[in-house]
Amino acid sequence: MRTIDFRSDTQTLPSPNMLKAIQIAKLGDDVTHEDPTVNDLEKFGAELLGKESSVLVSSGTMGNLIGVLIHCNRGEEVIAGALSHICRGEAGGISVLGGVAIQPINTAPDGSLAIEDIEAAIKPDDYHFPITKLISVENTHNATGGKPLTASYMNKVRLLAQKHSLKIHVDGARLFNAAIALETPVKELVQDAETVSICLSKGLSAPVGSLLCGSEEDIAKARRIRKMLGGGMRQAGIIAAAGKIALTEMVERLAEDHSNARKLALGLAEINGIEIQPEELPTNLVFFKVPEGRSKEFATKLGQKGIKVGEREDSRWRLVTHYGITSDDIDYSLEVINNVFS
């Protein structure tokens, strides 16, 4: 049976070139900086993002956790969107492990945090409050539909941060999707942030890994925190080899995922019972509503026909296009979805 897995871009498998690169990677002990493949990836990634340095970590969650812990000590605070991954999807790690408070604020439908909302959330200098140190934004913003945040928005966040002596962290798990959708060099999107975490997995299809990028000083701090978290890896070049292919060969092709997402969204808009606003600037996440109370039934039926959408309880669905899903797969999926829904 033909299987099309729309559950997430975390389902991507490594490309043939990644598998080849893994086989021939030169390896060493990365904890002592002796893995040439990791060193090469970290240098390349930092340059690409316009930062002085970067460090390979095991996941986006670890990148965000370390990113926050670089800037915030116990009793200090990060302001983040209430719908952000850092707030909802990382097991509260920054608070549990770092003693860092999180101040969630409203997320606008375009994935941004309104500047006035951020400003209103900054705590005054009063010992009743945690000390606000950091603003965290997510680009693209997952829960609001993969919306990209522009460089000009980031610049406004920077001006506010400067006014209050705050730092900025970007959860860039899908930053390259934003860069492709906005046709903006990725470094411009993060030039106003101190640290940025990018995922080599997800849309870029590497099997494992994220890079946390920032200044030499911040990344030196990050290495210590990574070690403390048990994230120091030895011959990590086998991960970095695929990561380098992710950054050199898999970025431009994200445009294909975006055009498949648009095609999917336009097709879904034609299907009875589906409520959707096809995005004008799509990335790879397609959100829509199915009839109330029928989610589980539809998801099960689609699953039986090889269209994987995950176990769905509520009526808001997310389908994700990624490496491994072709334009032809979209045509086929729309046909199956139409049959199941009608």
Binding site for ligand PLP (CB under 6 A): 10, 59-61, 85, 138, 142, 171, 173, 199, 201, 210
> Shortest approach of ligand PLP to residue 210 CB, angstroms?
6
In the chain, the amino acid numbered 166 is: L
CA distance 22 to 37: 10
Nearer residue to ligand PLP within complex by CB, 233 or 274: 233
Nearer residue to ligand PLP within complex by CB, 170 or 337: 170
Contact 139, 175 (CB under 8 A): yes
Nearer residue to ligand PLP within complex by CB, 60 or 282: 60
Could you tell me which of 214, 208, 174 has the C-alpha nearest to residue 57?
A: 208
Structure token digits, residue 135: 């603003």
CA distance 81 to 102: 10
Nearer residue to ligand PLP within complex by CB, 168 or 274: 168
> Shortest approach of ligand PLP to residue 35 CB, angstroms?
20
> Shortest approach of ligand PLP to residue 328 CB, angstroms?
26
- Long-range contacts of range 286-294, CB-CB < 8 Å, 24 or more positions apart? 286/145, 286/261, 286/318, 286/319, 286/320, 286/321, 287/145, 287/316, 287/317, 287/318, 288/316, 288/317, 288/319, 289/315, 289/316, 289/317, 290/315, 290/317, 290/341, 291/315
Place of tokens 């812990």: 69
> Shortest approach of ligand PLP to residue 215 CB, angstroms?
22
Nearer residue to ligand PLP within complex by CB, 38 or 211: 211
> Shortest approach of ligand PLP to residue 189 CB, angstroms?
14
> Shortest approach of ligand PLP to residue 4 CB, angstroms?
19
> Shortest approach of ligand PLP to residue 169 CB, angstroms?
11
Provide the 3-class DSSP secondary structure of residue 136: strand
Nearer residue to ligand PLP within complex by CB, 18 or 122: 18
> Shortest approach of ligand PLP to residue 39 CB, angstroms?
22
Contact 106, 81 (CB under 8 A): yes
Nearer residue to ligand PLP within complex by CB, 53 or 177: 177
Q: Give the CA distances from residue 185 to residues 53, 189, 242, 252, 274, in Å, rounded to whole numbers and listed in that order.
A: 18, 7, 22, 11, 35
Nearer residue to ligand PLP within complex by CB, 206 or 290: 206
Nearer residue to ligand PLP within complex by CB, 171 or 192: 171
CA distance 169 to 85: 13
In the chain, the amino acid numbered 80 is: A
Give the residue nearest to ligand PLP (CB).
60
CA distance 255 to 245: 17
> Shortest approach of ligand PLP to residue 10 CB, angstroms?
6
CA distance 117 to 139: 18
